[in-house]
Amino acid sequence: MSTVNHAESSPQALVKGALDLDPWLEPFQGEMIKRQLKFRDWYNKLSNTENSLSDFASSYLTYGLHADWDTKSVSITEYVPDVEKVALVGDFNNWDIHAHSLHKKNDFGLWQLTIAPVNGDFAVPHDSKYKIAMTLPSGEVIYRICPWAHRCTPSADPSLYDARFYNPPRELQYQFKHPRPELSEDGGVRIYEAHVGISTPEPKIGSYKNFTQNILPVIHRLGYNTIQLMAVMEHAYYASFGYQVTNFFAISSRFGTPDDLKQLIDEAHRLGIRVLLDVVHSHSSKNVEDGLNMFNGTDHYLFHGGSKGVHDQWDSRLFNYSNYETLRFLLSNLKYFLDEFRFDGFRFDGVTSMLYKHHGLGFGFSGDYNEYFNPQWVDDDAILYFMLAHQLLVDKGEKDNFRYLSIAEDVSGMPTLCLPIKQGGIGFDYRLSMAIPDMWIKILKHLQDEEWDLGNIVHTLTNRRHGENCIAYCESHDQALVGDKSLAFWLMDKEMYTNMSVMSENTPVIDRGIALHKMIRLITFSLGGEGYLNFEGNEFGHPEWLDFPRIGNGESYHYARRQFNLIEDDLLRYKFLFAFDCAMQRLDSNYHILNSSQAYVSLKHEGDKVVVFERNGLLFIFNFNPTQSFADYKIGVHTPGTYRIVLNSDSPDFGGHDRVGPVNAQGEPLKFFTNDDPWNDRANSLFIYVPSRTALVLQLEEKVVS
């Protein structure tokens, strides 16, 4: 078991690593130390009372309804404070509230019951419906879904869900076959953000099995090494995109069974792909009948009571992270998905809302450090939860000899969020660079090509905290939703429906759109962070937005799908964007760009519209000029030698015009030789033809030895 013991160290030693990285944090070390001490107090308390943080987070093994295959008994443990009686009711006992009453184990609201087998078999059959019945102090009896239920399905009223006892025969339970893949040999973290339900060309809900059979091979072919699965935790309202969770321990039944999801993850592991869960611990659905809200008849079960427990903008409930049982529930939820489904980490949704008492609403973060350490604004209880969650990942990782990943969806830029706890940080591995997609949308929406500010583009792509890793992306699911536009739509809009065939004219709109789509993605990929994310379908310029069935669209599934069939049609231009994305992913797997040091930008020429930078031995050249190509353009470079092109966005394989071929006029491989003439603060330079709207990546093939 990992220990957290700094009794012999000075308080300042707890945050020394963070202060060494950023001396500007010095005036705020008092608040930073308070966070560290609070975390250590809780860690030690849980170690003393629960044996360990890991055991505390293993409560999912006892809480809720469980089958013992050795004795064929069924046991249930529930945390239900402020009630007089608790009973288990269901199909198995004809919903008789008096048949199976739980016994009160302590004064803190813990109730338990063990039910002996009936005729040598489980008293509660597999897949049978059940609920928790509670008698309130007023005498009223209420019926609720178990908070720890592992399986929930639509009831006769499709707007409501039932809990079902998931206990299939052992021979039908999926057994994992493949180990979790490490990423150390495959470059940086390259994330394919995906939603199982929309992962089919047909206007219907896709399944885990469909994703396993048809989508995993596409992701593997593209070269992504990580999948971020959205909308897995059960949500009664499909159009919530999975962000209004009703049942935290149940996976969405509309896509299939828990064993189907296990098979999906195991197959991803076989392909060398890690799978992250998009986890929603920032809030909970307000549903009462099939959610956590008002579970025991009070508004403060696991949540803050009163207005503090309500997120008005999201119309949802907010967790009380200072509550002992809330921490048990949420930490156990994390460990459950790691243990039972073998997820490889998490993308935490709504982190900004959790970090601040104002939830980021109407608050414009300016970068002033007071915004991140003012106790009137910052929720230290949520920070404690994050630190305990990340210590859990560290402890489990040490035991499993595996590094679990975590990503924060945070727009505020809180310092130390992505530093290890042992360095004085909160523990995340990465944060999403949420300013980057906003920048691209504003540029495409408001500026003509000649008005692009390259200095601002480069600044936005490189403006990140030293030592804290970021995931760069041009667009995520947010930009694909109806009401917004994807980059492909901003670039090509309605012509995508008429001119994406290679049999039709390559219009100026389509030609520009395909060229800039590639360039925007490559400069974001190579300059914007230590990891990269793409939302499914955007890599090939999916021609439609995303809109889930709802009353406003007549409950249509027409836009709740991804048309992967388009990349298989050789007569359509989508194949060019798909091929470029494949090449871009290979660039990192071959040359390890993402997990290397930040790039050195040597040129941002506003007149020429040219950007040049070097990263991990590769030379990147971008000509965003809409009309002008440059012959013998002088490029500064640090290392002298012979260079060759390893990626050319103008290649015909990517829908380009082949203005820089792979060979010269003599049919020999095209090479570029440096001279010792310094240029743009680089010791050497070379000359190269750079066509308009083209990106070139050069590799040092042979170094000059002086």
Which CATH number covers residue 650? 2.60.40.1180
> Do residues 610 and 457 touch, judged by C-beta distance below 8 A?
no
Please give the pLDDT value at position 669.
82
Total domain count, the chain: 3
Please give the pLDDT value at position 203.
95
- The answer to whether residue 349 is catalytic is yes
Res. 5: pLDDT tops 60: no
Q: Which range (52-56, 361-365, 615-619, 662-666) has the least confidence?
A: 662-666
Structure tokens that stand for 232 in this block:
């897995």
Please list, residue by residue across 65-74, b when 16 or more beta carbons sit within 10 angstroms of its beta carbon and e when fewer do.
Answer: bbbeeeeeeb
Please give the pLDDT value at position 1.
42
Res. 518: pLDDT tops 60: yes
Whether residue 69 sits in one domain with residue 49: no
DSSP H stretches of helix in 463-540: 477-480, 487-492, 508-527
User: What digits encode the pLDDT tens for the residues 470-480?
Assistant: 999 999 898 88
Whether residue 31 sits in one domain with residue 124: no
Please give the pLDDT value at position 663.
73
d(CA 54, CA 396): 7
Domain-embedded: residue 255: no
Q: Which residue has the higher pLDDT, 101 or 485?
A: 101
Res. 6: pLDDT tops 50: no
Catalytic residue among 349, 511, 547, 581: 349
d(CA 457, CA 479): 19
**What average pLDDT does the segment 361-380 reach?**
92
Whether residue 168 sits in one domain with residue 105: yes
- The answer to whether residue 409 is catalytic is yes
Whether residue 676 sits in one domain with residue 620: yes
Please give the pLDDT value at position 3.
52
Structure tokens that stand for 586 in this block:
């290979």
> Do residues 444 and 487 touch, judged by C-beta distance below 8 A?
yes
Domain-embedded: residue 459: no
Three state DSSP letters for 413-440: CCCCCCCCHHHCCCCCCEEECCHHHHHH
Domain-embedded: residue 673: yes
Encoded amino acid at 145, one letter: I
Mean pLDDT of the chain: 95
Whether residue 83 sits in one domain with residue 117: yes
Whether residue 69 sits in one domain with residue 44: no
Which CATH number covers residue 151? 2.60.40.10
> Do residues 288 and 258 touch, judged by C-beta distance below 8 A?
no
Q: Which of 113, 144, 172 lies at the terminal end of a domain, its last residue?
A: 172
> Do residues 647 and 583 touch, judged by C-beta distance below 8 A?
yes
- What percent of the chain is predicted at pLDDT more than 90? 90
Catalytic residue among 409, 511, 581, 588: 409
**What average pLDDT does the segment 650-673 reach?**
87
Q: Which range (200-204, 476-480, 619-623, 671-675) has the least confidence?
A: 476-480
- What percent of the chain is predicted at pLDDT more than 70? 98
Please give the pLDDT value at position 99.
97
User: What digits encode the pLDDT tens for the residues 319-369?
Assistant: 999 999 999 999 999 999 999 999 999 999 999 999 999 999 888 888 899
Domain-embedded: residue 485: no
User: In terms of residue numbers, what domain contains 17?
Assistant: 11-56
Whether residue 83 sits in one domain with residue 38: no
Those residues with Cβ within 8 angstroms of residue 374's Cβ, 6 or more apart along the chain or in another chain: none
User: What digits encode the pLDDT tens for the residues 230-243?
Assistant: 999 999 999 999 99
Q: Which range (123-127, 479-483, 626-630) has the least confidence?
A: 479-483
Q: Which long-range contacts (CB under 8 A, 24 or more apart) does 231-237 make?
A: 231/195, 231/196, 231/197, 231/278, 232/196, 232/261, 232/277, 232/278, 233/277, 233/279, 233/280, 234/152, 234/161, 235/285, 236/159, 236/160, 236/161, 236/285, 236/287, 236/290, 236/291, 237/285
Encoded amino acid at 351, one letter: V
User: What digits encode the pLDDT tens for the residues 386-426?
Assistant: 999 999 999 999 999 999 999 999 999 999 999 999 999 99
Domain-embedded: residue 229: no
Length of the chain: 706
Please give the pLDDT value at position 2.
46
Whether residue 47 sits in one domain with residue 66: no
**What average pLDDT does the segment 629-640 reach?**
96
Whether residue 121 sits in one domain with residue 47: no
Domain-embedded: residue 303: no
Identify the bridge partners of residue 74 per DSSP, sorted by sequence position: 67, 115
Q: Which of 151, 172, 193 lies at the terminal end of a domain, its last residue?
A: 172
Q: How close are the terminal C-alpha atoms of the chain, in Å?
A: 53
Q: Which residue has the higher pLDDT, 322 or 661?
A: 322
Domain-embedded: residue 93: yes
Domain-embedded: residue 254: no
Structure tokens that stand for 289 in this block:
């009948």
Whether residue 675 sits in one domain with residue 614: yes
Nearest in space to 264 (alpha carbons), one of 366, 342, 173: 342
Whether residue 130 sits in one domain with residue 37: no
Please give the pLDDT value at position 666.
67
Q: Which of 120, 154, 172 lies at the terminal end of a domain, its last residue?
A: 172
Task: Using alpha carbons, list the distances in angstroms from residue 438 to 285, 442, 470, 473, 507.
Answer: 28, 6, 16, 10, 27
Whether residue 49 sits in one domain with residue 74: no
d(CA 168, CA 502): 51
Task: Using alpha carbons, list the distances in angstroms from residue 60 to 108, 181, 328, 351, 405.
Answer: 18, 26, 9, 24, 21
